[in-house]
Each structure stands twice: as C-alpha cells, then as structure tokens.
Amino acid sequence: MNIKSNIYLLLSCGFLTILLMGCENFLSHQDPSNLNTDNYFTQPSHAEGIVNAAYESLYPVQSEASWLMTELRTGALNSTFTPNGGFPDFKIISDLQMSADHPAVNNYWVSHYRGIGNANLAIAEIPNIEMDETTQNRLLGEARFLRAYYYFNLVRIFGEVPLITESVDLGSPDLEPSRSSVESVYQLIVDDLIAAESSGLSFNDSSGRVTLGAVKSLLADVYLTMAGYPLEMGTEYYTLARDKAKEVIDSQEYSLFDLYLPFRESSNDNTVEHIFSVQYLQGEQNNDVLQIGLPPFKFGVSAYSSEQGFGFARDEFVASYEAGDKRAEEKVFFFTNYTSESDRNETVQFPNHFIYKFWDEQAHLNTAQSGLNWQVIRYADVLLDFAEASNEVSGPTSDAYEAVNKIRRRAEISDLSGLTKSEFREAIWKERWHELIYENEIWFDMVRTRKAYDIEADTFNDYVGHSFVDGSTLQERDLLFPLPTDELRNNGNLTQNPGY
C-alpha cells in the first residue's frame, strides 16, 4: 500500500468504506454503497462522518507493530523470550537491523497518510456544508488536531515527508509527492493546532473526542520537540512549550490519579489523567494492543489464546528505579507472576518482568476482549513537559519542582530539591523514562534530546554511540526509520533516509 495505490483503491471502492469501522460512542455506522464525493458532502451528518473516518486511523497507528517499532529502540524492552525464540521481525528492530522492507514501517506510513487524507477531505469540504456554525467549527478543529497529530508522528519517525494538505485524485501533483522540509511540516502542525485552539472545543469532556486540553497538550509537546533536535529552535520554543503546558495545568481540568490501579480501569477512560486516548469498546472495537504484555503461551495465565510474549522489560531497566518506587513493585508497571488460567488458585512464576502497566484484569481473567482505551496524551506527560521546558528557560523553579514531585509522590519516592540546572534536566529525563516508558514517548525523547539512558550506569549518554544492554549500538542512521520500499518503488520522487 502506498499513496498512489490508496487513491486507486479509494476511487474504485468508495472513500467512505472506512466509516464501517467504529469508534466508541461517536463513530457512526452508515451504508456508503450509494455515496460518492459529488453527493456526499451535503448534510451535517456527512461532516461528522468524515471526521469520524479521520479518527479511525488511530487504531492502526496504535497497533502492536507501531508500538514495538519505537519501544524496541529504547533498550528497555526485550523482544524475545529465549535467545532462540521470539519473533524475528521484532528482534530485527531491537538489534537495530531494521530495513525498508519491514512490515511495521509500511503499516506506519500507510495508516498515518490514510488519516491525513480523511482529515484533508474534512477540512476542504466541511466549510461548504450548511450546518450549525458551532458544530462546524468544532469538527474542523478536531480534523486539524488529527492531521497535526499524524504529521507529528511522521516527521519524527521519517524526517522529511511529503506534505499533503489537499484531497488527492488521479490528476493531482500530490499523487507522486516529493519530501518536504522538516521545518515546513512543523509549521503546518503548529498552524493546525493554533487553528484548533480557536475552534470552540470544550476544554475537557468524557466523550473521547478531541478537546481543547488535548490541543494545548499536543502543542506543548510540539514546541518542546522543536526546541530540541533536529530544529534546535532553543529558548523561544522552550518558553512556548512551558507556557502552553502551564495553560493546561492552570485550567485545573486534569489531575493525576492518586493510585495506579485506576489508570488501567476502563471505567476511568477519558477522565482525570487521560487527556486524549484511542477509544475502544469491548465486543465492538477491542483493544488488541494490550496483548503485548502477555507472557508466552507456555505459562498459560490469560483467557486470551494468543499468549505470544511479544516483549518483556529488561531486568536492568526495572532495577534502575529508585528503592521503594511503587512503579517497580509487583503488579504496578511490571509483573513476574500470575494465576494459572487452568487453575486460578495456582500461581505461575515467570523468569522475567512482563509489562503490567496496561493490564486489563477482566479481559485476561474472563472475556479475552478489552475495551480499555489506549492513552495518547495523559496529564503526567504535560507535567513533565512543563518541568523540562521551564528548567531550560529559568532553571529549577518551585513550579517546575512541584510538577515533577507530584509524579514522584504518587510513586512514594522523595521530592527532588537543591539541584543545578543540568542535574534537574537529567532528573526530569529520568523521570520521563520511569513514568512514560512503554507509552510510545521515550524514543521520541531520545531523538529530540540526542540522549539515551544508560540503565546500568544510571547516566545519560549521547544517542549516537550509545550501547544497549545486549550490545546493540545506536548509529546516526537510527535517528530516523527508513521509508517503506513500496513507497520508493511506486514514487520516483522519494529518496531514502541515509544508511538504509
């Protein structure tokens, strides 16, 4: 699949077939068999339908393959259970031997551009529909947020990517687009999010749709990234990141859960700490990503039949948590035992730390179906964004300390205090590793800071030249992933990233 073949597919099969896939509570299920671009965009329900289609790409974007693609490049996840077992496709990633033919790369590219295509269509067509202006602006704000989010992922993963902002047909010059500069992609991202800020979105609600809080949180993350590598825009953008994150904090619309258990209970989806999530509904749109944390089937602890053991936490990483840190305790972020699926009175011990952070107990005990949302942005990330950006601008302030220490208090470890600017910087980075690991955040941190956490020495090394516990060493080329072979084969205007 590539941009060109996607266009052929959409034109021949009908672009609205994507609406057949649902999203919890708000994705409509319509019969698209008699609809096309000439007669579709005429009613308010059509406006909502195409925005819902843009949301749908969040599912493949947050798939198992996409999750493993970035997490396996942190050095904190092991992709195999034994030296001779595991999954070759995933071990290739952790061994830093990934090629342009890897299916995860193709999935990442296709799913993101499909979401962008639907967002482009929404942004182009919704202004022409006669409808309530408030609803119209809200839907346009959601579409702009989604387009910005998809491009933010793409530019961080691949660097220069085609910048497509209009609907593409067989006569469009964007059918075989060239790569655009990183600067121009980030400019679109910022422009979209600023436009979304003024679109009348509510600051917070439990519907699962994009909120103003989500827009501001993502914009803070974008500014923080722009301040670092590869753009290195420095103090001005650290200031923007600090101020935007503070707007979210000062709104008092969000807070940390007091404990870690509510973090993974579906009854708490879209509330308290969860700012923006991929929406799931048990039995209708199940969250299959949660199966990643399952131990291999030979242990037999889950109602799921696919106990494949995709990956487990490296023991050295678990040991890097401070003494007494709740997050490293059994059945908080990690687990080493569970009851047997055949006899819940029997406890099965594992030789490694598997990931409990997203464990849905009812799904694993009974239903083998999970409706637990997958978080994209949560309040802990905003607090850490604020602390890091604030430190870069003004050094360790009381507000910056308080942002980090809120997270540390939940983990029941001592407050940070009395640090120099450089010491506080590394303390925040380390807190990000220990709080946000396995949430598709850490590899992006590594690239924007050009630093990697040495989990054995408890220090930060330069990204290029850093060696993982297994001996794999990061190179310059590992700052980006390769463009998919299929895209290069079908579009002669594209070039490959160096080293692939």
Per-residue pLDDT of the chain (500 residues; tens, 9 = 90+): 343 334 333 332 334 433 333 334 444 334 333 445 666 788 999 999 999 999 999 998 877 778 888 999 999 998 754 444 445 677 888 889 999 999 999 999 999 999 999 999 999 999 999 999 999 999 999 999 999 999 999 999 999 999 999 987 777 777 889 999 999 999 999 999 999 999 999 999 999 999 999 999 999 999 999 999 999 999 999 999 999 999 999 999 999 999 999 988 989 999 999 999 999 998 888 888 777 777 876 788 988 876 666 788 999 999 999 999 999 999 999 999 999 999 999 999 998 999 999 999 988 899 989 999 999 999 999 999 999 999 999 999 999 999 999 999 999 999 999 999 999 999 999 999 999 999 999 999 999 999 999 999 999 999 999 999 989 999 999 999 999 999 999 999 999 999 99
For the chain, how many residues are written?
A: 500
Q: Where are the domains of the chain?
A: 1-194, 202-278+373-446, 280-372
Residue 301 to residue 31: CA distance in whole angstroms: 41
Reading the block at residue 63, the tokens are 């798939």
CB proximity list for 297: less than 8 A, separation 6 or greater: 305, 306, 307, 308, 309
DSSP state letter for 390: H
Q: What is the dihedral of CA 410, 373, 246, 389, to 10 degrees?
A: 80
Can you tell me whether residue 462 is helix, strand or coil? strand
Architecture of the CATH domain 202-278+373-446: Alpha Horseshoe (1.25)
Contact 433, 442 (CB under 8 A): yes
Residue type, 27: L
Q: Report residue 18 CA to chain centroid gap.
A: 21
Can you tell me whether residue 156 is helix, strand or coil? helix
Residue 468 to residue 247: CA distance in whole angstroms: 37
Residue type, 121: L
Residue 224 to residue 243: CA distance in whole angstroms: 11
Beta bridge partners of 467: 473
Q: Is the peptide bond before 351 cis (omega within 30 degrees of 0)?
A: no
Residue type, 480: L
DSSP state letter for 179: P
**pTM across the whole model:** 0.91
Residue given tokens 């990000």 in the structure block = 432
CATH number for 1-194 (one of 1.10.10.1150, 3.30.470.20, 1.25.40.390, 3.40.50.1100): it is 1.25.40.390
**pLDDT score of 168:** 78
Fold agreement (1-194, 202-278+373-446): yes
Residue 65 to residue 277: CA distance in whole angstroms: 18
**pLDDT score of 63:** 78
Q: Which of 110, 111, 93 is nearest to 102 (CA)?
A: 93
